């Protein structure tokens, strides 16, 4: 082209209406051999070479250092190709691209890290039961790397000599090796029925397991503490791990006097959250597993203590095989993580203060 027109960020210059009255220096001139290459090298290596700011007047752009008598449109095409190739290989350009890549990677990492840091803890606790589903439960927990707190009593089982008997001892030991925690659920799964008026404190207690199943007794505070301690001692014997100084009364049934008696011998009571009651004790015809799963995923909140069992005799459609794994996966996908009660802020100070202490025996 011999028109002597220039290319700018705003378009061509001069405008077509000025053609025919172009300045003399706009006519293409012969460039010395190598001038284009030298100019291209200068443009790439000189950091001060910047395009005019957006909005600069067209005449100023026309007279900028990127244009001149030797840079007509005919010579501009090979120049642009050289500039692009040189810029791609220029160290400053490569550094800029690497910086941009690193920034993108860092941004992606920072987007992931807050998710992990913002983990919403829940505390799954499992009470003993008939133990038929215990192997399946252990498999699911291990698969999803979930640690829980077991509350154990020596309850009647479908197989073996009781949930804390010899038959199941190896199962408990394996759970200890996986990092789970343990606490007492009383030895004979003994229900509090009522406080006995008068002093010292006494309680009406009915065991639901063992040789005295179904009978009702009047126990002193000392007797109740022994009932808690017997289960805790058996757990330590078969797992080699000291249980937490916590207990759960069967059915969650307690009184202020009963809780005070347990604290006097070193045990703090643990209940469960309203949304944490997972419903595996309820009749399956009225509370099917699908309903229980949906309710749990809808209602559970960060910090909740969840409750289920290692088998419930009265439930026909077993809860654990249908609900446990989708519940864990569903909560994890919503940003929840599972922790043991050792990590629960409400019990940390108590556990620290009582773990190494031999439980005191209250007066008779």
Q: What is the CATH number of domain 120-354?
A: 3.20.20.370
pTM comes to 0.68
Q: Residue 6: is it exposed, middle or buried by C-beta count within 10 angstroms (0-12/13-18/19+)?
A: buried
Q: Which two tokens stand for residue 177?
A: 């090796």
How much is the average pLDDT of 263-269? 97
Say whether the peptide bond before residue 200 is cis (omega within 30 degrees of 0): yes
Element (H, E) at 151: strand 149-152
How much is the average pLDDT of 254-283? 98
pLDDT band at 28 (very low <50, low <70, confident <90, very high): very low
Pairing type for strands 149-152 and 181-184 reads: parallel
> Given this model, what pLDDT does residue 355 score?
84
Which ranges in the chain are annotated with CATH 3.20.20.370?
Answer: 120-354
Match 């108590």 to its residue by tokens.
350
CA angle 141, 147, 148 (to 5 degrees): 100
Q: Which two tokens stand for residue 27?
A: 């006519």
Q: What is the pLDDT of residues 81-130, one digit of tens each?
A: 444 444 444 444 344 444 544 544 544 444 443 444 579 999 999 999 99
How much is the average pLDDT of 204-215? 97
Backbone CA torsion sign across 68, 69, 72, 74: negative
Q: Is 261 or 358 the better-scoring residue by pLDDT? A: 261
Cα gap 247→232, rounded to integer Å: 9
Contact 58, 13 (CB under 8 A): yes
Q: What is the pLDDT of residues 133-159, one digit of tens each?
A: 999 999 999 999 999 999 999 999 999
HEC letters along 219-281: EEHHHHHHHHHHHHHHHHHHHCCCCCCEECCHHHCCCHHHHHHHHHCCCEECCCCCCCECCCC
Q: What is the pLDDT of residues 227-254, one digit of tens each?
A: 999 999 999 999 999 999 999 999 999 9
Reply yes or no on whether the pLDDT at 45 is more than 60: no
How many angstroms from the chain centroid is the CA of residue 99? Answer: 31
> Given this model, what pLDDT does residue 105 score?
52
């Amino acid at each position: 082209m011999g028109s002597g027109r220039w290319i700018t960020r705003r378009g061509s210059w001069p405008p077509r209406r000025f053609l025919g009255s172009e300045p003399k220096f706009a006519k293409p001139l012969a460039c010395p051999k190598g001038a284009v290459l030298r100019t291209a090298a200068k443009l790439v290596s000189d950091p001060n070479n910047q395009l005019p700011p957006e909005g600069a007047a067209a005449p100023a752009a026309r007279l900028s250092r990127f244009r001149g008598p030797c840079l007509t449109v005919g010579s501009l095409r090979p120049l642009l190709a050289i500039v692009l190739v040189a810029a791609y290989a220029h160290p400053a350009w490569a550094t800029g691209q690497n910086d941009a890549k690193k920034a993108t990677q860092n941004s992606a990492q920072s987007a992931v890290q807050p998710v992990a840091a913002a983990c919403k803890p829940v505390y799954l606790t499992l009470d003993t039961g008939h133990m038929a589903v215990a192997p399946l439960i252990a498999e699911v927990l291990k698969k999803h790397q979930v640690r829980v707190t077991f509350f154990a009593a020596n309850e009647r089982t479908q197989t073996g000599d009781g949930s804390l008997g010899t038959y199941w001892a190896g199962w408990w030991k394996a759970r200890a090796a996986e990092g789970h925690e343990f606490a007492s659920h009383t030895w004979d799964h003994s229900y509090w029925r009522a406080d006995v008026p008068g002093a010292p404190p006494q309680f009406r207690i009915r065991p639901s397991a063992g040789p005295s199943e179904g009978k009702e007794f009047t126990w002193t505070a000392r007797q109740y503490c022994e009932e808690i301690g017997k289960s805790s001692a058996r757990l330590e014997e078969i797992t080699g791990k000291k249980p937490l100084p916590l207990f759960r009364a069967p059915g969650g049934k307690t009184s202020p006097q009963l809780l005070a008696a347990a604290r006097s011998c070193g045990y703090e009571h643990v209940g469960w959250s309203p949304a944490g009651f997972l419903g595996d004790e309820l009749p399956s015809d009225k509370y099917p597993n699908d309903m229980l799963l949906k309710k749990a995923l809808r209602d559970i909140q960060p910090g909740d203590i969840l409750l289920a069992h290692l088998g419930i005799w009265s439930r026909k459609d077993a809860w654990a095989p249908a609900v446990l794994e989708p519940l864990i996966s569903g909560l994890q996908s919503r940003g929840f993580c599972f922790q043991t009660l050792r990590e629960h802020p409400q019990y940390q100070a108590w556990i620290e203060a009582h773990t190494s202490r031999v439980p005191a025996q209250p007066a008779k």
